[in-house]
Amino acid sequence: LALVNRETLFEQNPDFYRSSLADTQNNIGAVYFFLNDYSNSIKYYRLALCNYELLYEQGKEEYRSELAMLQYNLANAFVANNNLEEALSAIDKAISLDPTESDNYDTKGEIYLKQGDEKKAFEMWEKVLELNPDFLKDKPDGTNLSNGLKNLGLIK
């Protein structure tokens, strides 16, 4: 219902409601992600991404962070859907938009590990710790870095 309402408002005034529609699409993508419905998650993340890209291309720099976040979300949905090449492309876009966000490198490390490249995974996780030395303290469980190190038997 929220999506229908936002789409209706968007049709009436696209310039004003584009970001609101994109927020709703992103939220729906997140709901599908947590329901493990990655195809629909990817669909809605891509819709939101298109709207934010249009805003950003209009010179609205404030949407850069939303674009980075959506690329990050999209990368995680691709990883969950085992589409690692598209995941790598999306996370590289997220990094280019926000090279200071440690979570982006954490996800890139996971992608490399899933591709069997432990060396590149460790390089990404070193970057995570360079950007955020307290990353493991702040997030001791559930991160790609902590899970990857546990899977490799390097930490408990």
The pLDDT score that the predictor gives to residue 142 is 58
The pLDDT score that the predictor gives to residue 49 is 96
Positions of the chain with pLDDT lower than 70, given as ranges? 139-156
The model's pTM: 0.85
- CA neighbours closer than 13 Å in the CB half-sphere of residue 23: 10
The pLDDT score that the predictor gives to residue 146 is 63
With a CB cutoff of 8 Å and minimum separation 6, the contacts of 72 are 90, 91, 94, 101, 103, 104, 107
The pLDDT score that the predictor gives to residue 92 is 98
The pLDDT score that the predictor gives to residue 3 is 86
The pLDDT score that the predictor gives to residue 117 is 94
